[in-house]
Amino acid sequence: MEFKKFKAATVQTAPVYLKVSATVDKAVNCIKEAHQNGATLIAFPEVFIAGYPYWNWIMTPVQGSTWYEKLYRNAVAIDDPEMQPLYQAAREFNMHIVIGINERGLSYGEIYNTNLIIDNQGTVIGRHRKLVPTWAEKLTWSSGDGSTLKVYDTAVGPLGTLACGENTNTLARFTLLSQGELVHIANYISLPVAPPDYDMAEAIKIRAAAHSFEGKLFTIVSCSTISQEIKDALRGDVPNIDALLDRKSSAFSGFIGPNGAVIGTPLIDEEGIVYADIDLSKCIQPKQMHDILGHYNRFDIFDLRVNIAPTRKITFVENNEKET
């Protein structure tokens, strides 16, 4: 049996706010840099293309409605021409990519918080739509369904992903673990407007460590930052924007090993790309103590059922009975 070894990269930076092509170009530059440093997997933040709806937290819903339209106008479909440079970069630089997008739904005005899984041939092999938008995010995104709660077989190993707060969802995480996940991508946004006693960076680390320790796997965390450009864009509607979005310890990006410990030095708030060497054979020994997918569980007692059918918005029924 082959135990894969590879170098992974994770990005902590801000998008070019509400500008799809410019953000894709920024992502391609990161991919090129990661390739030059020997990486074959790179993780990008939640909804990196092309930005997070911060207005939901700092404006009234009425004020934020014009920003919702701006976000929708900068939402993308997987096959949009603006997305093609990303897929070309995956092929050219032999890179597996997990990246967050604002995905246009089929209904006009509908947006999903989606993570794309792109293989090193430039093929979108999967997408995960965030199951439950968190708190104020419900003003923006539709909910995903169980059909995108999958683990993908890739050249770097069995790979799964969850976005931000759903990394606290025990059943969602177990669903990925039960499919053999060994590499987990958890991507986030910086959220300085959290309650005063909430350390966002520490909370991200705790969630990642919990998943790695419970499942005995590697977790790669990518978090966005808030740029001056983002603050300046929102300043006209929120004059005290700096006081709201300048809080420290709001972003964490890095790597967690199968023992739940941080690998290397993570990025806290600062922008950059960090790397780690991943050896999936390190997932074996910890399973002897706690294998919640095998000997350390009781499936005769516990029974988790997951509905993986896509949501059906309408069912047409035809009455074929003949009238007499």
Q: CA of 86: how far to CAs of 71, 99, 160, 168, in Å? A: 20, 10, 20, 29
Domain membership flag for residue 306: no
CA dihedral 80, 61, 15, 92 (to 10 degrees): -20
Choosing from 164, 181, 216, 223, the catalytic residue is 164
- 130 assigned to active site: yes
Domain membership flag for residue 313: no
Domain membership flag for residue 264: yes
Q: What pLDDT tens digit does each residue of the chain (324 aa) get? A: 678 999 999 999 999 999 999 999 999 999 999 999 999 999 999 999 999 999 999 999 999 999 999 999 999 999 999 999 999 999 999 999 999 999 999 999 999 999 999 999 999 999 999 999 999 999 999 999 999 999 999 999 999 999 999 999 999 999 999 999 999 999 999 999 988 899 999 999 999 999 999 999 999 999 999 999 999 999 999 999 999 999 999 999 999 999 999 999 999 999 999 999 999 999 999 999 999 999 999 999 999 999 999 998 899 998 876 665
How many domains, in total, are found in the chain? Answer: 1
b/e code 40-62 from CB counts within 10 Å (16+ = b): bbbbbbbbbbbbbbbbbbbbeee
Contact between 49 and 63 under an 8 Å Cβ cutoff? The reply is no
Q: How far apart are CA 120 and CA 305, in angstroms?
A: 33
pLDDT at 193 (0 to 100):
92
Q: What is the CATH number of the domain that holds 88?
A: 3.60.110.10
pLDDT at 324 (0 to 100):
56
Q: Report angle CA 32, 148, 187 to the nearest 5 degrees.
A: 45
Give the containing element (helix H, strand E) for 71: helix 61-73
Q: How far apart are CA 121 and CA 105, in angstroms?
A: 25
Domain membership flag for residue 245: yes
pLDDT at 273 (0 to 100):
99
Angle of the 84-92 helix axis to the 20-36 helix axis, nearest 10: 10
The number of CA neighbours under 13 Å toward the Cβ of 271 is 10
Domain membership flag for residue 308: no
Choosing from 130, 150, 205, 216, the catalytic residue is 130
Q: Which amino acid is at 35?
A: H
**Bridge partners (DSSP) listed for residue 275:** 9
Contact between 250 and 215 under an 8 Å Cβ cutoff? The reply is no
Q: Which amino acid is at 279?
A: D
What is the model's pTM?
0.96
Domain membership flag for residue 47: yes
Domain membership flag for residue 130: yes
- 46 assigned to active site: yes
pLDDT at 323 (0 to 100):
61
pLDDT at 183 (0 to 100):
98
pLDDT at 59 (0 to 100):
97
Both tokens of 171, joined, read 């059943």
Both tokens of 231, joined, read 């603050």
Angle of the 200-215 helix axis to the 170-177 helix axis, nearest 10: 40
Both tokens of 303, joined, read 């029974």
Domain membership flag for residue 298: no
Instruction: Identify the domain containing residue 271 by its residue range.
Output: 5-288
Percent of the chain with pLDDT over 70: 98
